Chain A
């Protein structure tokens, strides 16, 4: 310990004896480390902003889609079966059964003409959904107006929210769409509010080209499926023993269903004799939000288990739904970022290597120049390994000092970039530690040969060296 302290002290003295040369020698290491730090921090800022972009699409989102059917060997492809129901969505929203899920909203998709006055437009997406959609998609703040509520969903209210692009297409610049009446597929809808701007998503499609309405309205009044028929068959289905139907928000339409039946109750034998084909209400997708990014996997498991159970799928049998999670997207983005930083690190590594070679060259010159000093030190009792240690510590210390200066320089430049160019930068402690560590290693590796050479000197020759 004491020995180390002495060696360090000695190295420090030797370095301060020629400050100019020490500074110039470490310049290579300083530049290398500064480049690593600056590149890493700016790169990290960039990937952070990328992550934020992905988060704006809604964070921790899982998409449940109907699966593919395979009638007579010809696959229909994804979405070929009509397998997801609003009841599935309701069931998924049960916090006891699915603790990893915070929000669920069913989605019904249509693509229809929207008309206001003498203008018309076909939005990219017209979604029938629940108010939770805004929460899941991180779209809580509206630009104008208010969102539709659960009551609107229950009552199939003809209300809607418009995206900015749709507003631009249908309304004049000074014309507020709120409380105006637009027509979708010739049905009048009242505009309750306007969504805030979200811009294009990662894949380039315009997220503002959207109309949102209660899913019941879209399903039964726009999508062409008659609510009557659905209700009837659903009621039949419920009377034939499906108790889960109580969860459906549609039931609030007929508050008295629990007390009075619309039809005379069928006897057990009647029900058994006339099994009606169940035509249930289907939805196109179910959007699920997991509690946190690391709970996405458990949420997927809960969804799978629950839907398999609800859809009566036996073990070993294929699922009639599929689950997609957006982490794939964010994983892709971050792996792109990782690849980029890896490349940059390679470049920075080469810079450090050059710095190391520089250190070696100067150390070799220094050993030659200090031959007499080495001879003297040996004469007064330094063993070869003491000399080796001294020069090694000198080189390492020089590189560590260079590393520290480089860190300061790199931090400064990334702060300057943040200040003047407003690029996001992120501090990366582990990069700083790694950079200083690597520069110490560079010092040890490239300092070894000169130090070894110094330690092999013969004291008699070294003392006589001119």
Chain B
């Protein structure tokens, strides 16, 4: 089943007199429960595409269906609601609130949710999620008392608090060592497989992309490969990897 469908998405930035086209007609689709990697060099339009996919930005033209809803023309407020309900974000630098317990960090997005969860329900849900990411015994630790990997787990729990069907991970392992990276990526795989959550890994690291079922490569504002999940085509991810240590076979 299709969760994301992009049809000829274009994005042009206006720098004074100059028009800078960043996305030049991107079409792709991602199924529910699929784990894909969005790959590309810096300047390729990868970040812009992610911002549009994550409803942080609007395309200049084109159509974007998310979970059956056309979202490319929504206002800022409407996009905020979509982000809150349907999308979770995990960042390279974790972005946890400092001097705040893991539990409060996880519950933070609930403050903007229209569904009125009672305090106890919210707490229960947050505790269950922290348990799920293996931090059940650290719910009252502040972010400064947690290691990088643990902080990223808190961030994952936070992204899942509203039970979104879609999770964006922007270089989620960029600040982590290889062992922790593996754990985090395996957790993403488990989430995709068990919870049927679509995961989009944004990375330039082929090793990381190797965990995904499919890699979408973007170059100069156009999709180079992997736009559609064609069962017939064989998606290759491996050859351009530069660091053999991170070459870990997907499960």
Contact A459/B56 with A380-B109, A380-B112, A381-B84 known, Cβ cut-off 8 Å: yes
Is B178 engaged at the interface, CB distance under 8 Å to the other chain? no
Name A's interface SS: helix
* Interface stretch of the complex, out of A152-160, A331-339, A371-379: A371-379
Residue of A nearest to B48 (CB): A460
Does residue A410 face the partner (Cβ distance < 8 Å to B)? no
Contact B80 A17 (CB under 8 A): no
B100 and A379 contacting across the interface, CB-CB below 8 Å: no
Q: Which of A78-86, A96-104, A382-390 contacts B (4 or more CB under 8 A)?
A: A382-390
Contacts of B112 in A (CB 8 A): 377, 380-383, 386
- B147 CB–A CB distance under 8 Å: no
Does B158 interact with chain A (Cβ within 8 Å)? yes
Instruction: Digitize B152-169: 1 where CB-to-A-CB distance is under 8 Å, 0 elsewhere.
Output: 000000110010000000
Residues 60-106 of B at the A interface (beta carbon under 8 Å): 76-77, 80-81, 83-85, 88-89, 91, 95, 97-100, 104
B56 adjacent to A384 (CB under 8 Å): no
Whether the pair B95, A376 counts as a contact (CB closer than 8 A) is yes
> Which residue of the partner chain B has the closest CB to A375?
B95
With CB as the reference atom, state the residue of chain A lying closest to B170.
A463
Chain B residues near A459 (CB, 8 Å)? 56
A310 contacts partner chain B, Cβ-Cβ < 8 Å: no
Residues of A within 8 A of B234 (CB): none
- When A17-B100, A460-B51 are in contact, do A379 and B111 touch as well, CB less than 8 Å? no
Classify chain A: how many residues form its interface, as a range.
20 to 34
Task: Find residues 108-152 in chain B having any chain A CB closer than 8 Å to their own CB.
Answer: 108-109, 111-113, 116
| CB of A279 closer than 8 Å to a CB of B | no
B116 and A381 form a contact (CB under 8 A): no
Contact A380 B84 (CB under 8 A): yes
A13 at the interface (CB under 8 A from B): yes
Minimal beta-carbon separation of B161 from chain A (angstroms)? 9
Across the interface, B76 reaches (CB within 8 A) one of A2, A6, A10, A383, namely: A383
Most buried by B among A6, A13, A379, A380: A380
In the complex, are the beta carbons of A2 and B116 less than 8 A apart? Answer: yes
Closest Cβ of chain B to A389, distance in Å, is: 11
Q: Across the interface, which residues of B come within 8 angstroms of A385, CB to CB?
A: 77
Query: Is B54 an interface residue when CB atoms closer than 8 A count as contact?
Result: yes
Determine how close the nearest CB of chain A comes to the CB of B52; give it in whole angstroms: 10
A409 to B159, CA, bound (A): 45
Interface residues of A in 378-430 (CB under 8 A from B): 378-386
A245 to B34, CA, bound (A): 116
Query: Could you list 24 A-B pairs, sorted by A, with CB under 8 Å?
Result: A10-B111, A13-B104, A17-B100, A372-B95, A373-B95, A378-B83, A379-B54, A379-B56, A380-B83, A380-B84, A380-B89, A380-B109, A380-B162, A381-B85, A381-B109, A382-B80, A382-B112, A383-B77, A383-B80, A385-B77, A459-B56, A460-B51, A463-B91, A463-B95
Interface residues of A (CB under 8 A from B): 2, 6-7, 10, 13, 17-18, 372-373, 375-386, 459-460, 463
Those 6 A-B pairs whose CB atoms lie nearest each other, nearest first: A381-B84, A380-B109, A381-B112, A17-B99, A383-B80, A376-B95
> What is the interface of chain B, defined by CB distance below 8 A to chain A?
51, 54, 56-57, 76-77, 80-81, 83-85, 88-89, 91, 95, 97-100, 104, 108-109, 111-113, 116, 158-159, 162
Other A-B pairs, 8, CB within 8 Å; known A381-B112, A463-B91: A6-B111, A13-B104, A373-B97, A375-B95, A379-B56, A380-B159, A385-B77, A386-B111
